[in-house]
Chain A
């Protein structure tokens, strides 16, 4: 059975997940384990006047109660943002102080001010309620545009008017001139709604300090355990890097929210040392809503100028991005280099300018969430393109086609250099699959039964696999964005892959093994993937930004190259032939067309017995690689969504969803299709259902599933997913990445379909039935008035 690249190998990891045998952080129990419960601010903005811990300290089972002054007094560092952005005037971003436990001021509801350590979770929670915090409430600001007003409350002393940075990209004057001279300008004000990440597994941590060894272990729900270890050591001074082991075991979904190092992990590690106990903390769902970094929350204006032939001459964007109360780890790069660099979309645009102001508000910190900046860019561009087609009276498909980048490589005015693609091929495939031309017939049929049918399109592009380390370093990144791999071949010929990537739903145990199957013809069952433990695996950068295929697997491929070369040398020596005559396939090392054949295991065993190696060769068969990408990769595609809206209730029924994607080489089509399905489901969630809402005082109104609407099976359609692939030229396997595309491409397709159906373009996400109904009423009133 072929289990190599392109095979639909069933996921090896699913047996334990489906049978309830997964090993998540909260499943781990340590000897001498205690439980932490955090005292959190009930106010969006307040001064901490006094903390009285004595009642809590006297309660049953309580080991200790700590506050922020003790934490900072022990030299624990402030939480930082790891990507430096400079404002257009050259000044560095205004990063405010974020202590893992607030010392003087709380800045959002949920901000941690103290921690209780007790013998049971219930006792810890009871004592946390008994910690008396005397607050002096301060005025708060919630909306990003309001935060910039002069009268707005000041949240961090060093960020005047709550401005973190005022950044730009592209040529402003040239863009203004181009738009001024355009035959037609389309302009939209667009809000990108704030989302809560909602991983199935809440965040969790167990900190284990060994006084005898002066050594720390942290089990945690992390997408990048080595990055966590580095940051905890180098910046937060919790423990020296060589005395801290970070383990991210099975992790139940991340979507970005588990990239960052949160206050709870820092506090648990420190408190473990203070109490000499192991300390577990697992978020309740309410805490997840309050404290997991949120996503999106942009307010933007976009203008696109077209010439008389409908070619784009300029694109200009002004954005205010809400980063919440503190700058989370990668918060600064999301609304800048992961966002504005994609504003060229799939189009050949000579002039682009984007200005981004990021602001503090008294809300949960905002950081990368599935797509991270690219959904925001795609939503702006693709809504504006569909709007332009309507205004220009041309076909949305043909307006896009006319403006597509046609030759590669293509340098955009906003940094990105698109290496390869075939945008028209994906557009054509989507049009065909959706029977785009037959839509008007279907619209008429729907009208007969009182339904408003609409169709919408989105031709997205995104950037994955970020990116050459030197390049991102020059843009302000505090880390390199390569990936590591080690391939250990055992003496019996089985293989272990140690990867710096981390799987929290992606299926790496299967797809990474398929690379070995493909290379040597071994069964997938003979390959074990090891990840998520800094004691086992060499330093790695982890999994986010759809990078584990393009970057993580490239590192494995490079390590496999080295293994293959050495195995061929050994085989050639054993068979007494030239290395260049040797082929490794079907688990054999052989000279094709001859009787010179060795079993793979014979070569491997000889590598370790070292009884018959070429002269001077070291024993063993184990190779490593650090792969630093040469460029971003650029997945792209076209999505078409068709809806029927009930005009009486505003309910939207998605009756068709077509996705044609270019992900380059596909290792496991089943897993890739699953990624697309999941991504589109999240995009539909954003477009139809999900929104984090605060009241004017910063109280979270959508703090549970009673008010935060997640997509469910009956909200979602069956998807038609297909691929038109152009292999990526910059990495050895030709992979582009598929993890986020669905969440990037789908929201504009869906909103474009609804606005088409109801005849009113003034509609924001989430397009709830109430909003859609109101938009239908407004359109009707407008028509009547005309």
Chain B
């Protein structure tokens, strides 16, 4: 790791100021992607501005069906929140599948979303749950937030403060972990809303990162069963292809996991 200067921010405003003053600074949340990247010398920020101790960005708020999760809430906190589990267990299950206990105790929802790793779990949930990403500047709909691999709508000095969504009538998440990294080889989050609409968010598979699958959404809006998906097609050419799996395999996983997510939903 190259030398870097560490700053601990106590508010989002202070964090933005610290970043503005840095020559080539980066926000640090749980650090589960940024720090390994720095250790491999693939990133060399002059300054790190730590967001993880900003109290206003911590914690889970449940207001009826409205869920708000502070950006620096760790995966472990989401996974173990019994209050959240009571109203929306799928998001807790998803958080419990991320990495290992070390990662879950450090990594944060805001960090995961801001990084937009194409194999991260949370982006699928955000897309499916039609979440709002709240930042220091605005509120961004999930559909508009995730742009491309490792690319989001965030501006350089914009900080996610929280995410928020309304609990759907049914939702579920199914993940097939990558054999080495245990990221999602493919992960599918399905949600059925009170008005009958369905949203399907897919991570790990898409060549351009997280995406929604409209064909599966309309099929599931008709019948909320795994069987309803049998005539759906997933374009293998639009999938990632690498040494671990080709597009055809990932396309198959998208369909299989969507079915399993539906079957396990409640």
Contacts and interface: CB of A to CB of B under 8 A. Distances in A.
A701 B244 CA distance: 11
A547 B53 CA distance: 55
A773 B249 contact: yes
Contacts of A186: none
A702 interface: yes
A649 B176 contact: yes
Contacts of A769: 176, 179, 185, 245, 249
B252 A707 contact: no
Contacts of A693: 243
A705 B180 contact: yes
B256 A707 contact: no
Nearest to A648: B256
Interface in A698-750: 701-702, 704-710
Contact of A649 (B181, B243, B253): B253
Given A286-B40, A649-B253, A770-B249, A689 B179 contact: yes
A704 B181 CA distance: 9
B246 A770 contact: yes
Contacts of B253: 649
Contact of B244 (A651, A688, A707): A707
A417 interface: no
A705 B179 contact: no
Contacts of A705: 180-181
A774 interface: yes
Contact of A707 (B180, B245, B246, B249): B180
B256 A649 contact: yes
Interface string B167-183: 00000000010011100
B40 A768 contact: no
Contact of A701 (B243, B245, B246, B248): B243
A702 B256 CA distance: 28
Given A705-B180, A707-B180, A768 B245 contact: yes
A654 to B, nearest CB: 14
A768 B256 contact: no
A708 B180 contact: yes
Interface string B219-260: 000000000000000000000000111101100110010000
Contacts of B252: 648-649, 773
A302 B245 CA distance: 28
A286 to B, nearest CB: 7
A650 B257 CA distance: 13
Q: How large is the interface on B (under 10, 10 to 19, 20 to 34, 35 or more residues)?
A: 10 to 19
Given A773-B252, A774-B249, A707 B40 contact: no
Nearest to B100: A712
B249 A709 contact: no
A708 B181 CA distance: 8
Interface string B1-19: 0110000000000000000
Most chain A CB neighbours (cut-off 10 Å) among B2, B3, B244, B248: B244
Contacts of A648: 252, 256
Contacts of A688: 179
Most chain B CB neighbours (cut-off 10 Å) among A702, A769, A773: A769
Interface string A629-671: 0000000000000000000111100000000000000000000
Contacts of B245: 768-770
Given A648-B256, A774-B249, A702 B243 contact: yes
Given A768-B244, A774-B249, A706 B180 contact: yes
B144 to A, nearest CB: 29
A708 to B, nearest CB: 6
Contacts of A708: 180
Contacts of A126: 2
A768 B246 CA distance: 12
Interface string A126-151: 10000000000000000000000000
A709 B179 contact: yes
A257 to B, nearest CB: 20
B104 to A, nearest CB: 16
A773 B254 CA distance: 14
Contact of B180 (A122, A650, A709, A770): A709
Interface in A329-381: none
A705 B40 CA distance: 13
Nearest to A129: B41
Nearest to A702: B243
A109 B179 CA distance: 25
B181 A707 contact: yes
Contacts of B249: 650, 769-770, 773-774
B123 to A, nearest CB: 18
Contacts of B248: 774
A286 B39 CA distance: 11
A649 B245 CA distance: 11
A705 B185 CA distance: 15
A701 B248 CA distance: 21
B181 A706 contact: yes
Nearest to B180: A709
A729 B256 CA distance: 57
A747 B178 CA distance: 21
Contacts of B256: 648-649
B244 A770 contact: yes
Contacts of A710: 180
B163 to A, nearest CB: 26
Interface in B181-211: 181, 185
A707 B119 CA distance: 13
Contacts of B181: 705-707
Nearest to A650: B249
Contact of A768 (B2, B3, B179): B179
Nearest to A688: B179
B121 to A, nearest CB: 16
A774 B251 CA distance: 12
B42 to A, nearest CB: 11
Contacts of A122: 3
A706 to B, nearest CB: 4
A707 B243 contact: yes
Nearest to A704: B40
A650 B179 CA distance: 12
Contacts of A286: 40
Contacts of A770: 244-246, 249
Interface in A759-774: 768-770, 773-774
A488 to B, nearest CB: 46
A244 B227 CA distance: 73
Contacts of B40: 286, 704
A705 B100 CA distance: 14
A194 to B, nearest CB: 13
Contacts of B3: 122
Interface in A672-705: 688-689, 693, 701-702, 704-705
B174 to A, nearest CB: 10
Contacts of A650: 249
Interface string B59-92: 0000000000000000000000000000000000
Contacts of B2: 126
A693 B252 CA distance: 24
Interface string A770-786: 10011000000000000
Most chain B CB neighbours (cut-off 10 Å) among A126, A705, A768: A768
16 contacts: A126-B2, A648-B256, A649-B176, A649-B252, A651-B176, A689-B180, A701-B243, A706-B180, A710-B180, A768-B179, A768-B244, A769-B179, A769-B249, A770-B244, A770-B249, A773-B249
Q: Closest 3 CB pairs between A and B?
A: A709-B180, A770-B245, A709-B179
Given A693-B243, A707-B243, 9 more contacts: A286-B40, A648-B256, A689-B180, A702-B180, A702-B243, A704-B40, A710-B180, A768-B244, A769-B185
Interface of B: 2-3, 40, 176, 179-181, 185, 243-246, 248-249, 252-253, 256
Interface of A: 122, 126, 286, 648-651, 688-689, 693, 701-702, 704-710, 768-770, 773-774
